[in-house]
Amino acid sequence: MEETPKGSRLHIAIFGRRNAGKSSLINALTSQDIALVSNVPGTTTDPVYKAMEILPIGPVMIIDTAGIDDVGDLGALRVERTMQVLNKTDLAVIVIEPEDGVTNFEAQLIKEIRKRNVPIAGVINKSDLMAVAPDKVAVWSEALDLPLLTISAKTGQGIEELKRTMIKLAPDDWEGPQLIGDLVSPGDTVVLVVPIDLAAPKGRLILPQVQTIRDLLDNDVCAVVVKERELKEALENLKNPPRLVVTDSQEFMKVGADTPPGVMLTSFSILLARHKGDLETLVAGAKAIENLQPGDKVLISEGCTHHRQADDIGKVKIPRWLRQAVGGELDFEWVSGGTFPADLEKFKLIVHCGACMLNRREMLYRLAMAREAGIPIVNYGLLIAQIHGILYRALAPFPLAQMILEE
């Protein structure tokens, strides 16, 4: 059920000379061992497209550019093949081998990539084997007019920082996973449970609800929109059960009781967490709540200068729920609007708002900062679901995320 249409995957091409460690870097980024790793140059022989997940970036298409990484200058044929790859590339990563350093190959490659306006992240790999002196890094960086990160694909050093750079460089029109369209098939019926409370302005629906209805229509699905009170009746009025029921988090208990066990149930928060951020990273953050101890420091981060209502959730309800879960006091800090505090390492958990005012890239950037600091991060919706013991059922459409919660 978790197929992602090609269009919503960020296409990342990994460039570099033979043995610069392209395949190892792919493994480090994706925490998978799909690419064949060997220390014989040129093990991979053709550009290979691999649909993978990078946390917290989400579904990506990695393009492994073996076969155009021969030693020496770019010949006409290799330029052509590079161009074919670049036609499909949203973001290029250039991997530099520390012993050989920057050569004509990298310089020409960057020239070709820049012709296409494709953003570039530059890394010097193998920091575990060879430490390149900072002044040498500066010289190379200036020669290429490109910031260079020092990383080790083998030890993982700098990998999270590289991910953060990649998020920063991702194109503006990159959207990530659909809200719901990839979870349904044409002709399906999906029930949306929309409580009408003080949150929704008169005569309006909140944006995620509208986006979900529209995404369903775009995917030839019938959307049944109903309040929690009328849900039971609405389900009984359908001859064929719906493919999915999506509810506002605050009504999950009641909706869970009214939805037959055979019908998959999820929440708008979870759909949004996946669409706007990275579901797996946030689920790992939800799981980390169980490790909190009394006295731990918790950061509550609100995306915007907030309305009274967001205020109430972040300032009152979430602290209360977390205290109850931990069975003792916690040391809360709040931050809003801008970025995270510099000393992020002191926190045991970051709780982020639903990010309704942030775009996907901004939210992913924050997730990447948290990962870099090694701090679990969860958002309001997933925290609420986890605290109330309903997150597991609500992740039914997302087996990978369910696995993270079970671990």
224 touches a copy of itself by CB under 8 A: yes
Among 50, 136, 227, 388, binds a copy of itself (CB under 8 A): 227
35 vs 216, beta carbon nearer a copy of itself: 216
Question: Hey, which residues between 204 and 223 contact a copy of itself (CB under 8 A)?
Answer: 204-205, 210-211, 213-218, 220-223
Indicate whether 138 belongs to the interface with a copy of itself (CB under 8 A). Answer: no
Residues from 228 through 257 that contact a copy of itself (CB under 8 A): 229-230, 233-234, 236-240
For residue 371, give the 3-state DSSP assignment: helix
Binding mask 167-186 for a copy of itself (x = CB under 8 A): -------------------x
H helix or E strand, kind and range, residue 192? strand 189-193
- Least distance CB 243 / a copy of itself (angstroms): 12
Q: CB-based contacts of 299: which residues, under 8 Å, 6+ apart?
A: 332, 333, 334, 335, 340, 341, 344, 347, 349, 350, 351
Does residue number 194 form part of the binding site for a copy of itself (CB under 8 A)?
yes
Rg (CA), the chain: 23
Stretch near a copy of itself under the rule CB under 8 A, chosen from 15-23, 86-94, 141-149, 196-204 = 196-204
Cα(65)–Cα(16) distance, integer angstroms: 8
**Shortest spacing between CB 194 and a copy of itself, in angstroms:** 6
CB-facing half-sphere around the CA of 343: CA atoms within 13 A: 4
Number of shown-chain residues binding a copy of itself (CB under 8 A): 34
Q: Does 7 bind a copy of itself (CB under 8 A)?
A: no
Alpha helices in 329-379 (DSSP H): 360-373
| ∠ Cα 60 162 51 (to 5°) | 15
Write the CA distances from 232 to 192, 226, 242, 248, 259, integer angstroms.
12, 10, 12, 16, 8
Total residues found in the chain within this entry: 407
52 touching a copy of itself, by CB under 8 A: no
Contact positions vs a copy of itself (CB under 8 A): 186-187, 189, 194, 196, 200, 203-205, 210-211, 213-218, 220-227, 229-230, 233-234, 236-240
